Each structure stands twice: as structure tokens, then as C-alpha cells.
Amino acid sequence: MKKTWWKEAVIYQIYPRSFMDSNGDGIGDLKGITSRLDYLKYLGIDVIWLSPIYQSPNDDNGYDISDYQAIMDEFGTMADFDEMLAEAHKRNIKIVMDLVVNHTSDEHQWFIESRKSKDNAYRDYYIWREGKNKDASTPPNNWGSCFSGPAWEYDAQTNMYYLHLFSKKQPDLNWDNPNVRAEVFDMMTWWCEKGIDGFRMDVINMISKTKDLPDGEVSGLYGDYGPYAVNGPNIHNYLKEMNEKVLSKYDIMTVGETPDVTTELAKQYAGEDTHELNMVFQFEHVSMGQKYGKWTDEKPSLLELKKIMSRWQTDLYGVAWNSLFWDNHDQPRAVSRFGDDRAQYRDASAKMLATCLHMMQGTPYIYQGEELGMTNYPFESPQDFRDIESINAYKEWCTDGRVSHADFWPCITSRSRDNARTPVQWDDTAQAGFTTAAPWIAVNPNYKEINAKAETADEHSVFHYYKKLIALRKKYPVIVYGKYELLLEDSKDLFVYIRTLNGDGASAEKLLVVCSFTDQETEFTVPDAFDGAVCLISNTEHAYGKGKVRLKPYEAFVLYQN
């Protein structure tokens, strides 16, 4: 397996709106990020992935872009970006940009032109279709959008519909048009020349659609677009072209957000020699358990989690590269979802989850605040939401009467994307030190107990545990490149695996990773092969020797044998 810097890196995702406000308007910004670079350097991360900072009307918090080569006014100026990039590079921290090119904003100049007339030069930059009947009262097909409602918006100007797989203010680009691809590649080159270090590509496996756009299988109110718009017919051709025209010319990192991807598809997208992307985000492990669509308050099954995570570890070994993550800007807080955010268990379970993930093969991603053990927000009413997906889902499921508030509320509050978007908790002062104003979204009230100032000062904190995990990854190649083997496959409480580097003989380096996913005490027997092994990290004060170990709730440890 080829050794590369992005396989060995640890990446930290910043959601700029919620990271740090420098000018007192309640919204995080670029100068705020610059002011906290020393904190990230101290943590030890190598790369920052920035969620979108481009000019945007903010219908979907910046994922609706009106100008790819300008900075959102609320975030600052291009000069502020250049300063942030330079300061990050001074600290040997790389910057990866969010590339959102499945769709633009309906306020992008391309779309403003496109909707003017059927013969406009930009008409074919987007996907326009006639309605199903003469009076255009029925959309071209039955697809539903990701953000509730139909995936088609009627436009009276030309008596046609345009496709939007997300918000109606996010029209899908027509990647079958070579002019669209050329424009996107030119824009990407412009950012690469500016000195950025890579791209995270938003829903990149949705850019190719089938020509005929047929009705989808109905589930709920609408048809499923998946078979016709995800992993589409020309997706690999377009990514190879992107690689040839742009990516291959720079020493950058690329990661594709690829919903509904399998390990076999991942080998094409992120294969060692397929010349598409470096790695993918897959979502099997964060898609477990669904009650009302994606909305559920059920805890994930550990047996199912192990099955999914292990398949990705073994199927991609030696042939493709994976991303490792528990949460991001679209997912609830990891410790609330996979761990236990009750006061007596939050610290231990946050450290256990970090151990489980960071000892696997793949590039680990830390979402802002995860390193502090930040938790889900205690939402009290729908008025607390800022996220378009959550607002629309509550309306579709509750206001329109499909489900009672009592049944739906625990599910939407468990899964809302706004859980991840509350401001980073910097200290115990007003608004958690994020801003001096009223923040754009409320601060989690537990900021007085959970904050960066307290945790950086406490060497036993979740923060320092993450710092140690990152340092271990840089010291032991087995963590990055070792082969994976699952133990205790049928245990409902323990996630145990071995990593091995340089063969199976006496010279092999081995790791034993033991993680308890329960609030009960459990027993584990250390394999004879790890007799006399060194404990690299543990979230308890245990000494690990031979034989049986009585594990505390959410205990985790890693043994190293050379």
C-alpha cells in the first residue's frame, strides 16, 4: 500500500458559522478561525476541512452557492481567507475546501440566466423538463427531495420545471453539459492556484443522472430518485476527467461524500490506482435505525455497527482508502448517539468512541467540539431549529398530521443536524466565549461544564485524550497501515479488534483494541499473544496483564506488542 500524507493525517472539520465569532455579530467567521489556529495546532491535527464559506443566500447554510470565487459577507473577505490560509500553513496545517457542485443557489448568475428563456446560453447548465400534462400541473416525475416536498419546482417564466434534489433554492447542475464541467474545473483550478490543499466534495456521486429520469418507487409521499441520480451512468467518467484536468496537477487531498455507496463502488471511487478520489465518506454506520424516514431515537445496535465497520475495514484493505468519522455537520453529536451523554458516563464514553475510531484504518475526522465531548442540544420546541431539513421534516411529519408531536419529537431532536451546529464551547463565560452577541443558534446550556478552557487545563480531559490518540497515530505505523481483524463478533457489549503490520510472524507489530459499549461492567480475557504487551492508551486507571480483566462501563484500552 502506498504511503501518503493524507492517509497519515488527522482532519478537523470546521463549520464556520458555529466555530468562533470575531466581530460580535453572533456568527462565526474567518478571523475567528484564524484566532483559534493555535488551539488546533496544540490538539495536533494536520488538516482543516472548512464547510462552505462562499457567497450564499444561506438557504442551506452555505451549501447553496451563488458565487464560488467570493466569500460570504458574514464570514469576511477574500483577504481574511488569504490570511487564514497563510497562518494555517505557518503552523503546518492544511486547508481543504468544501466543493458543492451537484447544485448551485438559484441566485447564482448561471441559474438567473438559465431560467430567462429556453434558448438562453445557460439553459442547459441545469436540468429542465416539461410537466407530465399539457397544463404543467404535474411535475416531470414523482421524485421527492432530501429536504421534504417534491424534487421539482415549477417556473412560470418558461412553463417548465427544474430539478432540485435538495432545497428548491438549490437547482441541480447538468453535468452532461461539457460547459458545466469546464466551468467547475476552472473554478477548482483557481482555488488550487491560491494554495489550498484539497477538496471535500459534497454529494459528489449524485452529479450524474440517467437521461430519462423515470418515476421512482414510492415510499411515503414521493418516489425514490436513488436508482437514477446516485452513482449514475457517467459518474466515474466525470471524476476521471476532473482528476485529469485538475486534481492530478496538485499534491492535494480529495474526499467524496458518497451516500448509498458500497465497498465495491468505493474501490472505484477511491481505489489506489483508479485516478478518481483519494477517499470516500460512506454513511452505512450513521444510517442505522429508522422509524420515520431517517428520524429515530433508537440507539444503534452494536452488532450491526461492528458488522458494517468491519466490512469497510476488510473489503478496502490494500485496494482503496476510507474515511473514519462518528459525526459531522449533518449528524447528531457522537457521544449522544453512539455513547452515553449522561453526566457520569459522558467522559468515559467519549474517550471510548475516540479509541474505537482512531485505531482503525482510514483517515480520521474530528468534528468541531467532538474533542471536548460536546453533546446534543436539549431542544424544547420547533422554534429552536435553524436547519431547513429539520424545519421541513417537522412540518411534513407533524404539522401536516402524519405523526403526533409526542411520537415524533424524541426522534427529530435525536437526529436533527442542528445538534452539531450549536456554537463551539470555548469557555464558561456568556455564550460559551463564542460571541459577545446573541448567537445565530443557541449555545448548549452545558457549556459551563463542557468547554475548551477547562479541558485544555485538565490533562485527564476528553481533549487531552484526543491529543494523545493523534500523537500515537504519528508514532505507530500499525495504526495507519495495519491489517484489521475483528474478535468477539457476537458480543453485544464489546467491540474488540486486532491490527497487524508486517506479517504474522514474531516480527509483526500488533495492536489489541478493546472498547466497551455498555454502562454495565463486563469481563474480557486478554489473548495470550498480548502477554507482556504495552498499554498505549486507556480511559481508566486499569493495569492490563494476562488473563481476565473486569471492564468498567465504557472502558477502552489499546495494547501494543512488537
Which residues are tagged catalytic? 202, 257
Q: By three-state DSSP, how is residue 521 classified?
A: coil
d(CA 355, CA 463): 13
Residue of 362, 358, 357, 361 lying closest to 323 (CA atoms): 362
| Residues 136 and 154 sit within 8 Å (Cβ to Cβ) | yes
Q: Which long-range contacts (CB under 8 A, 24 or more apart) does 116-120 make?
A: 116/157, 117/157, 117/158, 118/158, 118/160
Nearest to 142 by CA among 202, 228, 260, 207: 228
Nearest Cα to Cα of residue 147 among 212, 214, 222: 222
Report the candidate in 328, 333, 388 with the shortest Cα–Cα distance to residue 64: 388
Coil, helix or strand at residue 271: strand
C-alpha distance from residue 302 to each of 337, 345, 496 (Å): 12, 17, 11
**CA dist 412 → 374, 376, 434, 445 (Å):** 18, 12, 26, 19
Whole-number Å distance between alpha carbons of 374 and 445: 11
Rounded to 10 degrees, the C-alpha dihedral 545/550/555/559 comes to 20
- Taking alpha carbons only, the member of 485, 508, 483 closest to residue 562 is 508
Cα angle for residues 339, 326, 414 (degrees, 5° grid)? 60
DSSP H stretches of helix in 270-301:
none
Q: Is 546 left (phi over 0), alpha (psi -120 to 50) or beta?
A: beta
- Sort strands 279-281 and 363-367 into parallel, antiparallel or unpaired: unpaired
CA distance 405 to 483: 47
3-state secondary structure of 75: helix
CA distances from 166 to 152, 427, 429, 529 (A): 10, 36, 38, 52
Specify whether the CB–CB gap between 275 and 248 falls below 8 A: yes
As a residue count, the chain comes to 562
What is the identity of the amino acid at 53?
A: I
In order of 46, 192, 370, 375, the CA distances from 102 in angstroms are 28, 19, 28, 31
